Amino acid sequence: MKIGTWLLAMMQPLLAKILVSLGFSVVTITGLTLAISTVRDQVIAGVNTMPGDLLQIFLVSGGGVAFGILTGAITTKIMLWQITSATKVLGVNPG
């Protein structure tokens, strides 16, 4: 094994962790936050157009909380997937 290959193999995981901790995927996370907030605002606008009685039943039955949980779960899953993809680009398998 050549010394350059060995050094590269030793430094790639360290470099990947440093770049991820410094915000390597900040652009993607910012774009994702904008997309999720846009979808959330559209759903809220759609729910607010319901008749008053139906809106009350929806909110009392936990529709707002369920929507918040689903939005948070989707956002977390996509962010974790993006961080994993960013480290794979750098040649690290966080497996």
Collect contacts of 21-27 with beta carbons under 8 A, ≥24 apart: 24/86, 25/82, 25/83, 25/86
Give residue-wise pLDDT tens across range 12-34.
666 666 666 666 555 556 677 78
Give me the residue spans of the domains in the chain. Answer: 3-89
**DSSP code, position 31:** H
Return the structure tokens found at 95. 């497996």
pLDDT above 50 for 95: no
**77 to 20, 31, 59, 64, 67: CA distances (angstroms):** 17, 15, 26, 20, 15
pTM above 0.75, yes or no: no
Please give the Cα distance from 46 to 75 (Å, whole number). Answer: 21
pLDDT for res 20: 65
Give residue-wise pLDDT tens across range 61-93.
998 899 889 888 888 887 777 767 665 555 555
